[in-house]
Structure 1
């Protein structure tokens, strides 16, 4: 074909292998004389005719394709609309916007901020791999998260963590990526801490305490209020110049409420007692069914020749209904401005000792309730409070 030809090189590494060809990609002035139309680039041949370039060599096509592959610019908070500003200051939006991942125990897809991530790390003394919540001890920067390696994720609940620790269920719930990162030779040496529940709870409380100390040490970050009742909260929203120290002379847009006391009642003690009784009854029923398995299992009766199906786990035993056995969780809320606002009890979440340490040198030690105003700078502490509350959540009485 007339015109400049592309340089072609043949590489033969083995007489029995296929020919491997590599072509040099010409760009810019190396293409020779060209002319461009609205959407395509044509090369002018020596005969005066034009030949359209392939899409992989056409600079116009490559430029149009690159527009859809370039990452978007980060949003500019100065150009936000009022609705975007309100959404940007909502912790629920940030948690739901996190990447969706799968719980290895329940196989449910959830945002990653609602899951607890464990990573494999070498023990400094024995060099055996340990499963530890490394993400709870480091910052949440994107680059540092990528350096932690493949995680072992599951729902951020205390009962789920306890269930994983029973009978080494965590060993059967690992994903292929986590097993590949650890290595098949070291997979049998992985160690699961016996005090994993208390260890994770201590780390989460430590992060919440650090975030609350930042707010307690600055004027106007938290506003005292008489109680979490709707009347007191709406009074803060409507009053002007409330003297909270923020200097704006406007009412407070309530985002959440902090109670410097306990919200537990005597009914919750009865609920815990009922749970212990139901767990004991379940263990007795399961052990009785296991002892009487030759008589209750229909596959072991005389005259039965077929094997049980793969989903069969044993004879059925009487248990409580699922709604009674696993009732819905209860999260404390109050109503403010016609919408529900979360209420967090710092005594129940952090423990009485940690709360007394937090209020020791604070100006809020004589108050009973605080309000966190809505703002982007308060999103991290609200997110940590939600994570800790979800970890310790239990069914209501």
Structure 2
């Protein structure tokens, strides 16, 4: 009956209150909120059953099973790659037939039913193309390990046993996730470039040289697109994989990630990006920044890790 007892007992089980407005946050809190690396590391820890590693959820790829809208058979779909409502670029696609197939993994419609179809619980694998490809590669140490998804303990396996025996893991899942991630990045960059051109926002800033990025306050990451057809830029050779740029004499944000979009997106998606964005068509180096681009920066970083060991 003691209110103090119940207050102490429920202190850490109550829902979090609303986030304070920006003007009530300290400078460090504001910097932390727009730091993509801090936000990624702060995500909950999850375990990959195929490798046994424990990592923040950002570095894992989530999967949930849903019923195929035509056959009713359960199959795995990747999470976190659905098309955002705010983005207007339309993508063509076809739905998957629910079986292991060898068709090109460019379908957009496979995730479109997620909002309409009840989904099962979420399981996680390490976000690595090499790992996911190994599930279907005979001789790989991870061959067939997709069956370990959601079988973390005996009780969960018992509850889901009947479904897990029938759930389908599609052929080419690794390429399907790669294509979807690239599509989301292209859509995000096109959307921000339109805001720059139509509303005068500063989400994307063209840099004539690497040193140009040092003069701007809101720095997120650098995007290297390679030489454009309309101009000869003096940026130099492409950056190495997993490159960073050091900004001297600054207390916060002294390291900038450098993303080579020719490597991350591939020729097809990079060409489509240049076609759909006049801003990105003319130039080879751009600075992506401000808090609204945080999710896009996180996705770029995640894609770096996804293809790192392929």
TM over 0.5: same fold?
A: yes
- Is the contact between residue 49 and residue 152 of structure 2 (CA under 8 Å) also seen in structure 1? no
The structure whose Rg is larger is: 1
Partners of 2:187 and 2:27 in 1: CA distance: 31
Aligned to 1:103: 48
The equivalent of 2:144 in structure 1 is 168
**How far has the Cα of 1:258 moved from its partner?**
0.4
Gap runs ≥5 in structure 1: 1-56, 238-250, 269-329
RMSD: 2.9
- For 1:110 and 1:116, how far apart are their aligned partners in 2? 11
Change (3 A) 1:122 1:388: same
How far has the Cα of 1:385 moved from its partner? 0.7
* SS of 1:337 mapped into structure 2: coil
> Which residue pairs with 1:223 in the alignment?
205
Residue by residue, what CA displacement relative to the aligned partner does 1:92-119 show, whole Å, maximum 9, x if unpaired? 1111111111111111111111100111
Per-residue deviation, 1:68: 5.1
Q: In 2, are the aligned partners of 1:254 and 1:336 still within 8 Å (CA)?
A: no
1:389 to 297, 304, 310: 304
Unaligned runs of 5+ in 2: 86-114, 138-142, 197-201, 228-234
* CA distance in 2: counterparts of 1:387 and 1:125, whole angstroms: 32
Residue 365 in structure 1 maps to residue 245 in structure 2: no
Contact 1:256 1:341 in 2 (8 A): yes
Instruction: Summarize the alignment of residues 293-332 of structure 1 with structure 2, pairs less than 5 Å apart.
Output: 330-332=241-243
Q: Per-residue CA shift, 1:31-73, capped at 9, x if unaligned?
A: xxxxxxxxxxxxxxxxxxxxxxxxxx24454456555543332
**1:150 partnered with 2:82:** no
| Secondary structure, counterpart of 2:80 in structure 1 | helix
| Deviations 1:186-245 (CA, angstroms, capped at 9, x unpaired) | 433222111111111111112112211221111221111023x3x3333xx1xxxxxxxx
Structure scoring higher RCO (CA < 8 A, sep ≥ 6) equals 2
What secondary structure does 1:257 align onto?
strand
- 2:171 is matched with 194
* 1:205 is aligned to 2:176: no
Other-structure match for 1:118: 63
Q: 2:38 aligns with which of 93, 108, 118?
A: 93
